[in-house]
Amino acid sequence: MPVTSKFVALKNYIPTGLPKETDFEIKTKEISLDAKNNILVLNLWISVDPYMRARMTERKNYKPPFNIGEEMEGYALGIVKESKDKNFKEGDIVFSNFGMRDYFVCNSNDLKKIEPMNIPIQTYLGPLGMTGHTAYIGLFKHGELKPGQTILVSSAGGSVGSTVCQIAKNMGCKVIASTGSDEKVKWLKNDLKIDHAFNYKKIENLVLHLKEVCPEGFDLYFDNVGGDFLESAIFQMKNFGRIVICGRISQMNATNPGSGLKNMAHVLVKRLTIKGFIIFDHENDREQFETDMTKWLLEDKIKFKETVYEGIENTPKSFIDLLEGKNIGKMLVKI
């Protein structure tokens, strides 16, 4: 029996600037099981993530652009409503890349079954999902984080940033966190026990502020924003420091290229390493992460904060608000 699926589609590409709600539309279509797609899933939670912005342009990137007028995609957690596959049964909780919609049909290759554990299921979109994986791979594989180091994190009130901060704290590191609101500063300091958190919007001279709060400099800068913040961080790196470029949220909606990075001399003189990475390259590199993160979550060593918008209709707004930093922790849409 056909079901009506409601989904989010891009109406047009957005070459520069912040997306508007009118760049998106909510559409419907009839779907039904067939020989190939023999599982019907209803999404419960949808993940919205900054990397999606890059797929809203026509420019070549590491993932192809979204198709105009068709379902956008992204990670999601759903519940199986009907199954003709022996490995999945009604009521199973499943992880997929079929986000940005409520109902969908697919087959068993497209799904990963989530085994029940004593944590909320949406954790699989946060610390146990791409968010946590990004923080973990960035810190350990690319950042080569060692206990006792001093680390700087930008966009620290977001999902990846706040996970980075907590993992580093658990490692006995000193953590300096930058974020965009006093509320997030309070959360980082009081709940996550970060050594120093500040609202970058209230800082006049970032280089001087970093020098003041952390005169010894940084071993590692986990860069979620790029742009001028990256330049300031470079000035305060220790010799042999590492900069992991995970995102560039300050640049993604920029309407001009900005003034450029003027202090590459420091990269040479301080023997810095700058490394860009993308989590989608690490799909086969999850085992140690899952073991460690599950342990930390069960021991309550990683706290997971969510900003939840309800209803598929609010997905475009949730994404725009994410880019504007209106979330604390992981931005999710509950269907």
C-beta of residue 39 within 8 angstroms of C-beta of residue 80:
yes
Query: Which residue number, 116 or 260, has a Cβ lying nearer to a copy of itself?
Result: 260
Residue bearing tokens 């073991």: 291
Binding range to a copy of itself, per CB under 8 A, among 72-80, 93-101, 170-178, 264-272: 264-272
C-beta of residue 129 within 8 angstroms of C-beta of residue 45:
no
Instruction: Decide if residue 275 touches a copy of itself (CB under 8 A).
Output: yes
Instruction: Decide if residue 258 touches a copy of itself (CB under 8 A).
Output: yes
The pairing of beta strand 273-276 with beta strand 237-245 = parallel
Binding range to a copy of itself, per CB under 8 A, among 23-31, 33-41, 148-156, 253-261: 253-261
Q: What is the SS3 assignment for 243?
A: strand
Please enumerate in sequence order all residues whose Cβ is within 8 A of that of 163, keeping only pairs 6 or more positions apart, or say none.
126, 127, 131, 132, 134, 135, 136, 302
**Of the candidate residues 272, 293, 332, 333, the single one contacting a copy of itself (CB under 8 A):** 272
CA pair distance 52, 20, nearest whole angstrom: 14
Which one, of 143, 191, 198, 199, lies nearest residue 171 by Cα?
143
**Of the candidate residues 230, 320, 322, 333, the single one contacting a copy of itself (CB under 8 A):** 230
Instruction: Decide if residue 274 touches a copy of itself (CB under 8 A).
Output: yes
Size (the chain), residues = 335
Instruction: Decide if residue 271 touches a copy of itself (CB under 8 A).
Output: yes
Binding range to a copy of itself, per CB under 8 A, among 17-25, 188-196, 240-248, 286-294: 240-248
Instruction: Decide if residue 251 touches a copy of itself (CB under 8 A).
Output: yes
Chain residues in the site for a copy of itself (CB under 8 A): 54, 61-62, 226, 230, 239, 245-248, 251, 257-262, 264-265, 267-278, 281
